[in-house]
Amino acid sequence: MTSLSQNTGLAMSVTEVLTGDASSMPVLRGEMRTHEPMSKHTSWRVGGHADNYYVPADLDDLSNLLQGSIHESIYVIGLGSNLLVRDGGLRGMVVALHARLNDLRLIEQNQSGGLIYAGAGVACAKVARFAAKHNLAGAEFLAGIPGTVGGALAMNAGCFGSETWKIVERVQIINHSGHVFIRQPGEYTIGYRSVTLQRTVETEWFAGGYLRLPHGDRTESWQRIKQLLVQRVDSQPLNQPNAGSVFRNPPGDYAARLIEACSLKGCRIGGAMISPKHANFIVNTGNANAADIEALIKMVQDRVKKETGVELIQEVRVIGDARRHS
């Protein structure tokens, strides 16, 4: 029998969920929930239920889970800060890595700089503080990104002129068969908020990143972090649930400028509103559902296309079924 915490009245044995056959599975030490509301795990605070939701105990446990769930459709998430889960929820299994793959280590340090290993579940802000503490420069921008290292690697998250893959030396991968291995940045096509493996392979995810940073000054890094956080508080609607920038900036322009030029600030559909503070943010005013947010995204795209000719491309990832299942 596998071990698990029963978090909901609907909790089942991990093996029962995966295969219905306990004998074929290694012992799992993580936490399995069924019918888990994704609104609890996304920064927009909306979204239907995940059929199954697994929080692995650690990387070995995740590997064991994957080895036993070859046929399962799996969706890996970090802090859900770039994610819209539709109201009908997600079939298959969500695997949540935040605070579980949370190893954060200084691997080497010399006069020119250092190398940090950060597990996929470590919060980006923690990496920024860790690097500053060790007099390493260049990770300060991560302080204001409210996601995990895994999410930052998947999205090539960035701000204020910096981005994640500029500091990546190599990445640790786990694939659908549970194998853990290393990939080099040269194996990916890396662009603005986009990271694609150049070859087609079995589905895989980031288990961690090795970040190479030059030598810096702790005090200067702390000042930079504070300055970046103040800029965010001044310009972003951080007091309302949101998912950061909804659209990528088109080449040579800003999505926010285009949306504002179409007089869409403050525009609402249901409980979703284009933030009056930052036009590229859609906020949940309290009672939004995912359909409201998705409809507002579509409305913005249509209006901006009609009035400016520019096609805005979503930065947020939209997943799940539109309709609720009984």
Ligand X SMILES: Cc1cc2nc3c(=O)[nH]c(=O)nc-3n(C[C@H](O)[C@H](O)[C@H](O)COP(=O)(O)OP(=O)(O)OC[C@H]3O[C@@H](n4cnc5c(N)ncnc54)[C@H](O)[C@@H]3O)c2cc1C
- Minimal distance in Å, beta carbon 218 to ligand X? 23
Q: Which is nearer to ligand X, 52 or 242 (CB)?
A: 242
Residue 102 as a binder of ligand X (CB under 6 A): the answer is no
Q: Cα-flanking dihedrals φ and ψ of residue 78, to 5°? A: -105, -105
Q: Which listed residue (32, 50, 62, 79) binds ligand X by CB under 6 A?
A: 79
- Minimal distance in Å, beta carbon 50 to ligand X? 13
Q: Which is nearer to ligand X, 77 or 132 (CB)?
A: 77
Q: Which listed residue (146, 178, 209, 216) binds ligand X by CB under 6 A?
A: 146
**Piece of the chain touching ligand X by CB under 6 A; list 26-34, 74-82, 176-184, 253-261:** 74-82
Q: Which is nearer to ligand X, 138 or 151 (CB)?
A: 151
Q: What is the 3-state secondary structure (H, E, C) of the chain?
A: CCCCCCCCCCCCCHHHHHCCCHHHCCCCCCEEEEEEEHHHCCCCCCCCEEEEEEECCCHHHHHHHHHCCCCCCEEEECCCCCEEECCCCEEEEEEECCCCCCCEEEEEEECCEEEEEEECCCEHHHHHHHHHHCCECCCHHHHHCCCEHHHHHHHCCEECCEEHHHHEEEEEEEECCCCEEEECHHHEEEECCEEEECCCCCCEEEEEEEEEEEECCHHHHHHHHHHHHHHHHHHCCCCCCCCCCCECCCCCCCHHHHHHHCCCCCCEECCEEECCCCCCCEEECCCCCHHHHHHHHHHHHHHHHHHHCCCCCECCEEECCCCCCC
Options 193, 212, 221, 294, the catalytic residue: 193
Residue 252's Cβ-count burial label (10 Å; 0-12, 13-18, 19+) is exposed
Options 43, 221, 245, 275, the catalytic residue: 245
Other CB atoms within 10 Å distance of the CB of residue 261: 13
Count of residues touching ligand X (by CB under 6 A): 33
Q: Is 39 a catalytic residue?
A: no
Q: Is 315 a catalytic residue?
A: yes
Q: Is 86 a catalytic residue?
A: no
Q: Which listed residue (106, 125, 159, 190) binds ligand X by CB under 6 A?
A: 159
x-or-dash string of contact with ligand X, 112-141, rule CB under 6 A: --------x---------------------
| Torsion, Cα of 283, 289, 292, 295 (10° steps) | 100
Q: Which listed residue (157, 283, 288, 297) binds ligand X by CB under 6 A?
A: 157
Beta-carbon contacts of residue 20 (< 8 Å; ≥ 6 apart): none
Residue 84 as a binder of ligand X (CB under 6 A): the answer is no
Options 36, 72, 204, 315, the catalytic residue: 315
Residue 145 as a binder of ligand X (CB under 6 A): the answer is yes
Residue 216 as a binder of ligand X (CB under 6 A): the answer is no
Residue 280 as a binder of ligand X (CB under 6 A): the answer is no
Q: Which listed residue (150, 178, 209, 320) binds ligand X by CB under 6 A?
A: 150
- Minimal distance in Å, beta carbon 112 to ligand X? 27
User: d(Cα 26, Cα 40) in Å, to the nearest integer?
Assistant: 29
Residue 180 as a binder of ligand X (CB under 6 A): the answer is no
Q: Which listed residue (56, 80, 178, 209) binds ligand X by CB under 6 A?
A: 80
Q: Which is nearer to ligand X, 113 or 296 (CB)?
A: 296
Residues making contact with ligand X (CB under 6 A): 43, 75-83, 97, 120, 144-148, 150-152, 154-155, 157-159, 205-206, 236, 238, 242-244, 317
Residues annotated as catalytic are 193, 245, 315
